[in-house]
């Protein structure tokens, strides 16, 4: 049974036990409703406690019901029954009370939280607003702008903050005992939030509304939540509930909600073992070696330190080791100052970190990751040393972005131990981890890679070996079209603005400046001839050769002076020179064309990646682009976006691009044609 009943000290405890997150499935809703209803006429029951078994309170809706027609009892009916109970109902919260879970708690007359509990309404992250009273009860309980911020951001707060702002009544060690005491001694009178009103502080709310829309980057749900709260302030609870429910149902059918549901499920599918090795078992990883103490190496090191593992960091020289250790110490010092970690956590992590220059220090590591210069010769030299010192069974990983991992693996005596772990900078913050399966990567090595991804809170995508794997291979197509658009008449600023308006976190030229234009320049020097379009990056190369490397040199496609970013006249001059030298007459390029050219380049390349078996599933491409490349989450990823546009239209537009001067790059993937034909 998903809900059992226990009577203790004159309180009826409704124990929800629906692992893993005690989701509000239909049977859970029905059992809560029945328990509360039947308790009304039971003289032996003085109060009711809603509590959960396992690791968490109710953490939201049942994902199996996402997108399906709702079934009775509906959650608003359950929350209404709880709130209207004559007998006091108390929520005993541990772990997370999220979404419908917090709406259940808000309907209760009191809320008791365990230390460390988290409470939130994350519906906007699925393109929705709360649909069972969350937008109406929360601003009637806590300060209305604070409530609106929780709803519009979807971010949870911890128990201590919830106690401070009035969301919970007590934070207790023995939270269930405290909830029983409240249920049996305190009255439900004057505790029904539906009987209260709420108003808004206009100035504070307007500021929140402006900030919300800016942060949403085109997503509709956060702004819709703000508008709903604004409209319903001062109205009766019944009127507010009617508007909330109507908006919830409207948003649930929206393309945005469908896209967000898509990426939600895609992320949960990407961490599964491939079907051919579904029974593979990972090794236990306690100690990790990191070779390279630069920005990437230290970020990877912190990823494992944060997960409670021991880290041995290696560099060529003592001063490089010292700089790396200092960088990590500084980062943890900043995190402590900002309240993100405690002193005990900082001390524990730094105690688990050592640095040195002797490869022998890696002899007891379970996993060793090299994060050195992107050169095949350099990486092979590192792996040759690892082959001599790593213990039998250790997993040997490379953090390469482009290089052939099969070639690296073939250079040592244990190719089965080699796997790609492509982190994204900053590695301790970015969620995506591309796991590259080489031809001889063992099932155990791949299983271990997926296991450490989970342990370090990363979202993994398994890829095969090819230049750039999934993400960077697609990025090359995206950058190609952006670069060619400059030659045809667009300016860097126009391209960047069009794509940020679409929802990208940054435009391609701003990204190039941020990461360093010379990084791509060096990668192209290593790339095979014919693997990229030189005309697409001729302006990039000219800037690098003239010393304009991006933000680190103070100028690139833009100049950066006194905190002000502006178009770089030198870049514009180079663009004009290339147009003149190649006989191109600039034309007006629309923002719509910019979006189509760059997005459909991603889509076509993505279908080629699926066609060639580099990606296991088309959804993995969306996971990679949303979590590693700034693609707008509310569009679900490039492949999901293309399906929304219509694959037949995508094919037709690409056929038109194929008639242009650089049409050879627009060869349509058979997988895309087949998908379009199948609708």
Q: How confident is the model at residue 520 (pLDDT cuts 50, 70, 90)?
A: confident
Tokens of 591: 């923002």
Specify the pLDDT at position 660: 86
| Element holding 65 (H helix, E strand) | none
- Average confidence (pLDDT) over 562-580: 95
- Residue 319: partners with Cβ closer than 8 Å, 6 or more residues away: none
pLDDT at 473 over 80: yes
Task: Select the more confidently predicted residue: 278 or 413.
Answer: 413
Helices 471-488, 508-515: crossing angle, 10 deg rounding: 120
Nearest to 639 by CA among 629, 625, 652: 625
pLDDT tens column, 165-190:
999 999 999 999 999 999 999 999 99
Instruction: Give the pLDDT band (50/70/90) at residue 8.
Output: very high
- Per-residue pLDDT band for 399 (boundaries 50, 70, 90) equals very high
Residue 550: beta bridge partners? 555
The long-range contacts involving 149-152, CB below 8 angstroms and separated by at least 24 positions, are 149/208, 150/120, 150/121, 151/121, 151/123, 151/124, 151/225, 151/229, 152/124, 152/208, 152/212, 152/222, 152/223, 152/225, 152/226
Flag whether pLDDT at 519 surpasses 90: no
The reported pLDDT for the residue numbered 10 is: 96
Please list, in sequence order, all residues whose beta carbon lies within 8 angstroms of the beta carbon of residue 328, skipping any fewer than 6 positions away.
298, 301, 302, 305, 350, 353
Q: Tell me how far apart the terminal alpha carbons of the chain are, to the nearest angstrom.
A: 42
Q: How much of the chain exceeds pLDDT 90, in percent?
A: 93
Gap between the Cα atoms of 678 and 396, Å rounded: 42
pLDDT digits 0-9 by tens, 362-392: 999 999 999 998 889 999 999 999 999 999 9
- Calculate the average pLDDT of the chain: 95
**CA separation for the pair 129, 102 (Å, rounded):** 13
CA distance 111 to 178: 10
- Per-residue confidence (pLDDT) for residue 531, from 0 to 100: 82
H helices present in 8-110, as ranges:
26-39, 75-83, 100-107
Percent helix, strand, coil in the chain, to 5, is 55, 15, 35
Asked whether 397 and 451 are in contact (CB, 8 A), the reply is no
The full DSSP string for 199-252 is ---HHHHHHHHHHHHHHHTT-SHHHHHHHHHHHHTTS-HHHHHHHHHHHHHHHH
Residue 556 and residue 98: Cα distance in Å, rounded?
A: 44
Considering the chain, what percentage of its residues have pLDDT values greater than 70?
100
Instruction: Tell me the H-state helices in 612-666.
Output: 618-628, 638-645, 647-657
**pLDDT for the residue 258:** 94
- Stated as kind and residue range, the H or E segment containing 330 is helix 318-337
How confident is the model at residue 404, as a pLDDT? 94
Q: Which residue has the tokens 């708690």?
A: 105
| Of 491, 475, 480, the residue nearest 661 (C-alpha) | 480
Bridge-based pairing state of the strands 287-291 and 367-370: parallel
pLDDT digit string, tens, across residues 28-76: 999 999 999 999 999 999 999 999 999 999 998 887 777 677 789 999 9
pLDDT band at 352 (very low <50, low <70, confident <90, very high): very high
- Prediction pTM value: 0.91
β pairing state of 459-463 and 432-436: parallel
Residue 1 has pLDDT above 90, yes or no: no
Q: What confidence tens digit (pLDDT) does each residue in 242-278 have?
A: 999 999 999 999 999 999 999 999 999 999 999 899 8
Domains of the chain: 3-253 (3.90.226.10), 279-463 (3.40.50.720), 472-613+646-678 (1.10.1040.50)
Crossing angle of helices 295-306 and 318-337, rounded to 10°: 50
Whether 121 has a pLDDT exceeding 90, the answer reads yes
Question: Residue 643, class by beta-carbon neighbours within 10 Å (0-12 exposed, 13-18 middle, 19+ buried)?
Answer: buried
Joined tokens for residue 458:
């990363």
Q: Dig out the tokens for 157 from the structure.
A: 């707060």
**Rounded CA separation 225/209 (Å):** 10
Average confidence (pLDDT) over 515-533: 84
| Strands across the sheet containing 118-120 | 96-98, 118-120, 157-158
pLDDT recorded at residue 523: 80
So what's the pLDDT on residue 398? 98
Dihedral pair phi/psi, residue 312, rounded to 5° = -110, 115
Burial class of residue 667 (count of CB atoms within 10 Å of its CB; 0-12, 13-18, 19+):
exposed
User: Dihedral (C-alpha) 415, 421, 422, 423: value to the nearest 10 degrees?
Assistant: -160
Residues with active-site annotation: 103, 123
Half-sphere exposure of 21 (CA within 13 A, CB side): 15
């Amino acid at each position: 049974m998903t809900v059992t009943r226990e009577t203790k000290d004159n309180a009826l405890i409704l124990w929800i036990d629906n692992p893993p997150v005690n989701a509000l499935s239909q049977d859970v809703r029905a059992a809560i409703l029945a328990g509360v209803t039947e308790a009304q006429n039971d003289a032996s029951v003085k109060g009711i406690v809603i509590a959960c078994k396992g690791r968490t309170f109710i953490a939201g809706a049942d994902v199996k019901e996402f997108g399906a027609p709702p079934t009775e009892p509906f959650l608003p009916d359950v929350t209404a029954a709880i709130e209207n109970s004559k007998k006091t109902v108390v929520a005993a919260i541990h772990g997370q009370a999220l979404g419908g879970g917090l709406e259940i708690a808000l309907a209760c007359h009191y809320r008791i939280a365990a230390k460390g509990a988290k409470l939130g309404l994350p519906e906007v992250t699925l393109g929705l607003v709360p649909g069972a009273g969350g937008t109406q009860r929360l601003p009637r309980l806590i300060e209305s702008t604070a409530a609106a911020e929780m709803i519009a951001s979807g971010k949870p707060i911890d128990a201590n903050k919830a106690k401070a702002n009035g969301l919970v009544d007590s934070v207790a060690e023995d939270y269930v005992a405290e909830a029983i005491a409240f249920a049996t001694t305190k009255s439900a009178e004057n505790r029904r939030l539906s009987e209260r009103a709420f108003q808004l502080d206009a100035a504070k709310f307007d500021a929140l509304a402006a900030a919300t829309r800016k942060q949403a980057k085109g997503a509709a749900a956060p702004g819709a939540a703000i508008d709903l709260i604004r409209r319903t302030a001062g109205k009766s609870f019944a009127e507010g509930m009617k508007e909330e429910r109507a908006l919830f149902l409207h948003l649930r059918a929206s393309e945005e909600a469908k896209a967000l549901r898509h990426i939600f499920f895609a992320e949960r599918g990407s961490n599964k073992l491939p079907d051919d090795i579904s029974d593979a078992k990972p090794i236990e990883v306690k100690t990790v070696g990191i070779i390279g103490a630069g920005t990437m190496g230290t970020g990877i090191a912190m990823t494992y330190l944060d997960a409670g593992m021991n880290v041995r960091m290696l560099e060529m020289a003592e001063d490089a080791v010292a700089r790396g250790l200092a960088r990590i110490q500084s980062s943890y010092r900043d995190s402590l100052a900002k309240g993100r970690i405690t002193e005990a956590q900082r001390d524990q992590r730094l105690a688990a970190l050592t640095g040195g220059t002797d490869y022998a220090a890696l002899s007891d590591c379970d996993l060793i990751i090299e994060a050195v210069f992107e050169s095949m010769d350099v990486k092979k030299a590192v792996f040759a040393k690892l082959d001599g010192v790593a213990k039998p069974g250790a997993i040997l990983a490379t953090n390469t972005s482009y290089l052939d991992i099969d070639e690296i693996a073939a250079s040592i005596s244990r190719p089965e131990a080699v796997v790609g772990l492509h982190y994204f900078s900053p590695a301790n913050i970015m969620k995506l981890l591309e796991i590259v399966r080489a031809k001889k990567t063992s099932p155990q090595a791949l299983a271990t890679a997926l296991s450490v991804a989970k342990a370090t809170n990363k979202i993994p995508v398994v890829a095969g070996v090819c230049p750039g794997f999934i993400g960077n291979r697609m990025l090359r197509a995206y950058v190609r079209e952006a670069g060619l658009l400059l030659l045809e008449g667009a300016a860097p600023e126009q391209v960047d603005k069009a794509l940020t308006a679409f929802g990208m976190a940054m435009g391609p030229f701003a990204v190039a400046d941020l990461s360093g234009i010379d990084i791509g320049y060096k990668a192209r020097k290593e790339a095979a001839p014919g693997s990229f379009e030189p005309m697409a990056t001729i302006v990039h190369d000219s800037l690098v050769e003239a010393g304009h490397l991006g933000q680190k040199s103070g100028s690139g496609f833009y100049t950066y002076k006194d905190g002000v970013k502006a178009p770089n006249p030198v870049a514009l001059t180079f663009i004009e020179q290339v147009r003149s030298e190649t006989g191109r007459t600039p034309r007006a390029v629309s923002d719509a064309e910019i979006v189509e050219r760059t997005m459909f380049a991603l889509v076509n390349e993505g279908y080629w990646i699926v066609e060639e078996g580099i990606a296991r599933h088309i959804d993995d491409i969306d996971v990679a682009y949303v979590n590693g490349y700034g693609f707008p989450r509310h569009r679900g990823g490039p492949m999901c976006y293309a399906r929304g546009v219509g694959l037949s239209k995508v094919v037709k537009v690409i056929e038109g691009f194929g008639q242009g001067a650089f049409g050879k790059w627009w060869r349509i993937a058979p997988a895309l044609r087949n998908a379009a034909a199948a609708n």
